[in-house]
Amino acid sequence: MERESSDEAHRPDTPPLVASDVRKVFQRGERQVAALRGVSLSVKHGEFLAIMGASGSGKSTMLHALAGLTDIDSGTICVEGQDLAKLPDAKLTRFRRDRIGLVFQAFNLVPTLTAEDNVRLPALEQAGLEEKVTELFAALGLSERRGHRPDALSGGEQQRVAIARALVSDPAILLLDEPTGSLDSVAGQELCKILKILSADRQKTVLVVTHEPAVAFWSDRVLVMRDGTLLDEFSTDDLESAELLAQRYQLALNQQTIT
Amino acid sequence: MRAVLLLIRSHLSVHRVRTLLTTLATASSVCLLVWIISIYSSAIRSFDLYASRALGHYDLIVDPVSRKANREVASPALELLRDEAQVAQIDPMWARLLTFRAERTDTDRSKGSQEVVDRHSREGGWEEVIIGSDAEAPPFPLLRGRWIAPDTSEGLQAVLSLECSERLGVTVGDELSIAGPTENQPRIQVVGVIEPPPATITGVMVGSRMLPSPSVGAVFVSMNDAERIHRTKPTITFAAVSLRDGVDVHTFRYRLAPALYALAKPVQFMTDLDMEEEMSEAAKASSMTLQAYVVGIVSVLLAFLVIFSTLSMGVTERARQFALLRAVALTKTQLSALIAGEGLALVSFGLLLGIPAGWFLVIVVDRATDGVIRNGVHVDWTGIGLAVLISGVASLLAGVLPAWRATRVKPLDAIAPQNATRVESQWLASFGWLLVAFPLIGLLPLVSLVFPPSVSDPIFARLMLGAAGLALGLLLLSPVLVRWTDRLCVPPLARLLRLPKALLQQQLTSQLWRTVACAVTLSVGMGLFAAIHVWGWSMVYVFVPTNWAPAATLVLERPLASDQIDQLREWNPALQVVPLMVEQPRLRDDLLNSAEFPSVTRQMVVVLAGLDPQSGFGGADPLVDTQWIAGTPSEAIAMMKSNRGCVVPDHFYNQAGLKLGDPIYLVPPESPENPVRYTLAGAVRLRGGQWMTKTTNMRMRTHRSAGLVFADYQSVAGDFQLPGPRHCWIQSDEASLDEDALLAAVQSVQYRLDTTLGQEGKPDARIMPTQDIEGHILSAAQFWLWFMSVVPLIAIAISSVAMLNIFLASVRARQWDFGILRALGFTRSVLIRIVIAEGILVGIVACLVGCAFGLIAGWCGTALTQTSSWFGGMDIALTLPLVTLLIGSGTLLTFAALAAVWPALKISSMSPLSLLDRGRGMSQ
């Protein structure tokens, strides 16, 4: 894989993900909708960050921009020091494949491939792939299911396979868009536990977009978005339950409404 | 690349039915290609062989034009040919009928053939054709012994044909004697046996005339021995010509014809009826090559469309998957490689299955058609190699558009709602495309009808350019046709199938890619079928005699006297009997440029029919009642009577570029030194005139004729020294002509004046009703056109497999929609009827596209054929075989409906819940 990045990327004090003054406007017929209005953020190594917000707040657009899935109108997004806007399509695709792990709410897996082939897919040329796949399946509790196709897996299992696929190329960051949206609460909590382990124990940088306080509760820090701007930011260290997090989130929204 | 291969393998193995059906359809196309190329190439080889078998190793025969007893190929003709650089060898031959007896050294050998001798021999001997020749090599393979030496001081030597050798019961070393009035006849030693083709193939006699060909020879002797046997220097009956390698026989023949005709004793490259037919078979062989190319193109196009539609369907239903792959793993190039790889894999499966299947079919046909393809059927591996190559390229091309569509999928589509991930395709049905489509469709009419090519223009290039434009134009037009079909055909079909109209509406347009892919694939066979029949019937009808022709032609072996004609008229006053003085003179000048561009109407010879001008063209009800292209009946009659005026057919008039009053010099065959000046008095439409002369012995000297020319009865009789009419045209007021009664009357009048005719004998005449000519032409045309339609009908069947494939994918992609319908209370039967109705609607679009292609290509093809084909040159009117087109359309609609049955049953057999579950699964 051709690395566009600089030495900066490997410096431990350099945040793996930095976004500065990101702006994005969508054209909806004759109407222009500002999805992102100068959003800036920085995520540290091993940090578990949650972005919360209501529908239309711009949180998903922000995640897509961070993953290089959508072009931004202005601002910069650097992953491991690499400005995504400077990469042509093919190089961006390879960069995303190797350095960014992506997990969506659903439709995550290629239906014609088995679970292990789905995991192998982004890293087929990589050395030591089989050991890595085996280790990931073991770590995610999927060793018995690796030969199954997606239609034979439960929703939770499919999401875990998707996480394994996102991790197989050892990316700098893991971006998840509403990963528990299609799961029941038990499976959702198990998934969150895995994400917490990844960030805490394996020092993976995890960014989750969600509207569920129960998911955000597992994160280290929460960013609240509304109307394309960052509204608030708070740590979860002092919050003892998801309910308290929900109240804090609501408070952030209400304060802004009052002001 | 490993990721791409992994995805190709998994996709093809998971969708086994789709892979299998695509393979089946592609394999059928390949099989068709292998089969047709092999059959055609074998048939072409067979025609070539057949044409040359009668001639032995020679390319042409030189035959005197004269039919008098003392006719010969004179030395100026031989010298002229010897001076030709393209002639490799010329062997003059003398031929006579003599009676031979076997003088066997081993009498036991005769036992087996004794019965045959008793049955067929005359006066204890056998009448055989002896040929004198100084040829250095035998014309046919030597089976035993050696070939005759040109000059030997030993006794007489002969080489026998195998058939003659068996008939006489003699072989090498035995002797023959020539039967004669005295016992002192020369003895001939048999020195060799050769194997000419069987007489059943080459023929020996036509009418009372011996074929001028080595194949008729039973006993071959040297010219020296021929002189000793004949007791006088033999004249040259005909000469056999070999051309140098690479010289085109057809071109050579027509290039040299004017010079040969211009000799004091004119000769012609006329083989005879059978061989002449075979020469035109060679022309057929070249048109068969063109047909093989067309079939090849159709097969490859079919394979292309089958793969294209499968790949397109795959892209449509996998849009979300591609988006996901773009998001997590694949670049656009890799995604394109994925589509191209799937196409190549599918065509490879098709080739792996299709080539052995085609090979097997060829063997089956070879065994089943013993004798039909005379040279045997062989697999043409060169053609197959080419087919493999072209199929590979076609599959890659088939992937271009689907690959482009796949790369248009954005990674973000992976998380978009289901409807948003459908590849947008409504733009295809935009009416703006008509601005591009119609000019493309108009290209072929433009290069063929509006600006017709001249004979020297590159016709094939025009055809290919125009046909490609037409196909592309119709392809662009098809989405609009889909929209019209949706609007116009859905209401009646919904009523017919008792379906709520709303359920059928938009089904075609909402799945435009699927509909267009299916319709275009199905239309290939229909287009070819329609083109064959529109072209074929338009071409055929110019050969069918129309109302101008008489009810029948009376053909006589002996000329009738004028009082015999009067007696015939008295016998039945209701009959109009018009005697004809018929000769087949050549044109002094090559008015039609036959030397350079010969065709069925561009020849140097015409059939001249002398008739009473008033009976033929005068009065309110003339015998030849037809349209005048130039001149008027009254002026023409006056010129015919006073000034050797002649009336020519329209195609002759147009091709020669003559004006009224221009001279036409005709050379009497028996008096070539005295050309006769005729004057162009008029031109008339004579549809079918060519066949009228062909089937009634009016072409008595050569098989070819530029057309039927009318002149004054007395002028023709005098100018060409004809003793009396051998043909009469009969017009009858009665509903049907009593042929037997007429023949009896002819015999009666002939007998009355000529007592040498036996009462018991057959009448020296025959009647050829014009209706029979028409029936013969039409039935032959019907047979050949339907024979040629086999390939398009197979193409329709193959494309219906592709359609089945696409429909299976289509219903699979719509399981959620069907689940909703079932949940809302619609029955299984409704689902079945919806899917079958969709199949019928797709079939209707295919019929429209196919018929439009066939109609335009067929009609424009006739225009191009005018200048390019051997059979071109005549004024052709568009003939629409409506019943045939309806049969073709009905077949296509049936296949389209049948192709929808399996998907319909499959979807209807699922419960509402499983439809919803699977539908949800499909969307993930």
Given a cut of 80, whether residue B836 has pLDDT beyond it is yes
Classify B376 in phi/psi space as left (phi over 0), alpha (psi -120 to 50) or beta. left
Instruction: Among B3, B321, B332, select the one facing A90 at the smallest CB separation.
Output: B332
Closest chain B residue to A93, measured at CA = B331
Given a cut of 70, whether residue B204 has pLDDT beyond it is no
Given a cut of 80, whether residue B417 has pLDDT beyond it is no
Whether A69 sits inside 8 A of B412 (CB atoms) is yes
Scored b (16 or more CB within 10 A) or e, B81-96 reads beebebbebbbbbbbb
Give the pLDDT mean for B429-440.
80
Which long-range contacts link B177-180 to residues 24+ away (Cβ below 8 Å)? B177/B100, B177/B101, B177/B103, B178/B98, B178/B99, B178/B100, B178/B101, B178/B229, B179/B98, B179/B99, B179/B100, B179/B101, B179/B123, B179/B124, B179/B125, B180/B99
Residues of B in contact with A104 (CB under 8 A): 324, 414-415
Given a cut of 50, whether residue B73 has pLDDT beyond it is yes
Instruction: Write out the two tokens for B630.
Output: 């130039």
Which runs of consecutive H residues, i.e. helices, occur in B222-331? 223-230, 249-261, 273-317, 319-328
Whether B328 sits inside 8 A of A120 (CB atoms) is no
Instruction: Tell me which residue of B535, B444, B528, B595 sits closest to B865, measured CA to CA.
Output: B535
Query: Is B318 in the A-facing interface, judged by CB distances under 8 Å?
Result: no
| DSSP run (H or E) holding B269 | none
Whether B414 sits inside 8 A of A121 (CB atoms) is no
Instruction: Tell me which residue of B336, B312, B765 sits closest to B577, measured CA to CA.
Output: B765
Whether A69 sits inside 8 A of B327 (CB atoms) is yes
Which runs of consecutive H residues, i.e. helices, occur in chain A? 59-66, 89-99, 115-120, 129-139, 155-167, 185-200, 213-216, 242-258
Interface test with B, best of A2, A70, A93 (most B CBs within 10 A): A93
ipTM value? 0.77
Number of other residues whose CB lies within 10 A of the CB of residue B364: 12
Q: What is the model's pLDDT at position B637?
A: 94
- Chain B: nearest CA to A196, how far in angstroms? 22
Residues of B in contact with A60 (CB under 8 A): 415
Instruction: Among B328, B332, B333, select the one facing A97 at the smallest CB separation.
Output: B328
- Chain A: nearest CA to B823, how far in angstroms? 23
Q: What is the model's pLDDT at position B129?
A: 86
- Chain A: nearest CA to B403, how far in angstroms? 16
Instruction: Among B13, B325, B411, select the one facing A110 at the smallest CB separation.
Output: B325
Give percent of chain B with pLDDT exceeding 90: 20
Instruction: Among B3, B324, B332, select the one facing A124 at the smallest CB separation.
Output: B3
| DSSP run (H or E) holding B216 | none
Query: Is B321 in the A-facing interface, judged by CB distances under 8 Å?
Result: yes
DSSP state of B656: H
Closest chain A residue to B10, measured at CA = A112
Half-sphere exposure at residue B185, Cβ-oriented, CA atoms within 13 angstroms: 18
Whether B328 sits inside 8 A of A67 (CB atoms) is no
Q: Are B842 and B518 in contact (CB under 8 A)?
A: yes
Whether B3 sits inside 8 A of A90 (CB atoms) is no
- Look at the alpha carbons of A226, A230, A231, A236 in this order and tell me if their dihedral is positive or negative: positive
Chain CA centroid to CA A128, Å: 25
Query: Is B326 in the A-facing interface, judged by CB distances under 8 Å?
Result: yes
Cα(A177)–Cα(B653) distance, integer angstroms:
83
Residues 82-111 of chain A with CB under 8 A from chain B are: 89-90, 93-94, 96-97, 102, 104-111
Instruction: Tell me which residue of A30, A54, A66 sits closest to A227, measured CA to CA.
Output: A54
Residues of B in contact with A113 (CB under 8 A): 6-7, 10
- Who contacts B103 (Cβ-Cβ below 8 Å, separation ≥6)? B170, B174, B175, B176, B177, B187
Burial class (CB in 10 A: 0-12, 13-18, 19+), A29: exposed
Reported as a single tens digit per residue, the pLDDT across B362-387 is: 778 777 765 445 455 666 777 778 77
Instruction: Write out the two tokens for B702.
Output: 């050569």
Question: Helices then strands (H, E): number in chain B?
Answer: 31, 23
Reported as a single tens digit per residue, the pLDDT across B689-734 is: 877 888 888 887 777 788 899 999 999 999 998 888 989 998 887 6
Residues of A in contact with B324 (CB under 8 A): 104, 107-110
Cα(B131)–Cα(B212) distance, integer angstroms:
11
Classify B619 in phi/psi space as left (phi over 0), alpha (psi -120 to 50) or beta. left
Q: How confident is the model at residue B201 (pLDDT cuts 50, 70, 90)?
A: very low
Whether A107 sits inside 8 A of B414 (CB atoms) is yes
- Who contacts A252 (Cβ-Cβ below 8 Å, separation ≥6)? A224, A231, A232, A234
Whether A89 sits inside 8 A of B411 (CB atoms) is no
Residues 381-410 of chain B with CB under 8 A from chain A are: 410
pLDDT in tens, chain A (259 residues): 333 444 444 455 678 899 999 999 988 777 888 889 999 999 988 899 999 998 888 988 899 899 888 889 999 999 988 899 888 888 888 888 888 988 887 767 888 888 988 888 888 778 888 888 998 888 888 888 888 988 888 888 888 898 888 888 888 899 998 888 777 888 888 888 888 888 888 888 999 999 889 999 999 999 999 989 998 899 988 888 889 999 998 888 887 554 4
Whether B331 sits inside 8 A of A113 (CB atoms) is no
Given a cut of 90, whether residue B882 has pLDDT beyond it is yes
Interface test with B, best of A102, A104, A109, A110 (most B CBs within 10 A): A110
Query: Is B14 in the A-facing interface, judged by CB distances under 8 Å?
Result: yes
Query: Is B6 in the A-facing interface, judged by CB distances under 8 Å?
Result: yes
Whether A110 sits inside 8 A of B324 (CB atoms) is yes
Burial class (CB in 10 A: 0-12, 13-18, 19+), B38: buried
Q: Are A180 and A195 in contact (CB under 8 A)?
A: no
Reported as a single tens digit per residue, the pLDDT across B552-603 is: 999 988 888 888 888 888 888 888 889 999 999 989 888 888 877 777 788 8
Reported as a single tens digit per residue, the pLDDT across B788-806 is: 888 888 889 888 888 888 8
Closest chain B residue to A122, measured at CA = B329
Closest chain A residue to B330, measured at CA = A93
Reported as a single tens digit per residue, the pLDDT across A37-86 is: 999 999 988 899 999 998 888 988 899 899 888 889 999 999 988 899 88
Reported as a single tens digit per residue, the pLDDT across B486-498 is: 889 989 999 998 8
Instruction: Write out the two tokens for B515.
Output: 């509909």
Q: What is the model's pLDDT at position B757?
A: 47
What residues are paired with B581 via a beta bridge? Answer: B610
Whether A124 sits inside 8 A of B6 (CB atoms) is yes
Q: How confident is the model at residue B250 (pLDDT cuts 50, 70, 90)?
A: confident
Whether A125 sits inside 8 A of B2 (CB atoms) is yes
Given a cut of 90, whether residue B839 has pLDDT beyond it is yes
Query: Is B724 in the A-facing interface, judged by CB distances under 8 Å?
Result: no
Chain CA centroid to CA B99, Å: 43
Cα(B892)–Cα(B845) distance, integer angstroms:
11
Q: What is the model's pLDDT at position B85?
A: 92
Given a cut of 60, whether residue B818 has pLDDT beyond it is yes
Give the pLDDT mean for B888-906.
94
Whether A121 sits inside 8 A of B3 (CB atoms) is yes
Got the DSSP string for B831-896? Answer: HHHHHHHHHHHHHHHHHHHHHHHHHHHHHHHHHHHHHHSTT--S-------HHHHHHHHHHHHHHH
Residues 24-83 of chain B with CB under 8 A from chain A are: none
Give me the residue label for tokens 């075979």.
B278
What residues are paired with B811 via a beta bridge? Answer: none
Given a cut of 60, whether residue B509 has pLDDT beyond it is yes
Inter-CA distances, A202 with A16, A142, A167, A198, B737, Å: 15, 19, 11, 5, 107
- Who contacts B538 (Cβ-Cβ below 8 Å, separation ≥6)? B858, B859, B862, B876, B877, B878, B879
Whether A105 sits inside 8 A of B415 (CB atoms) is yes
What residues are paired with B609 via a beta bridge? Answer: B582, B710
Reported as a single tens digit per residue, the pLDDT across A7-26 is: 444 455 678 899 999 999 98
- Chain A: nearest CA to B415, how far in angstroms? 7
Whether A111 sits inside 8 A of B924 (CB atoms) is yes
DSSP state of A108: -
Inter-CA distances, B20 with B29, B60, B394, B578, Å: 14, 54, 19, 69
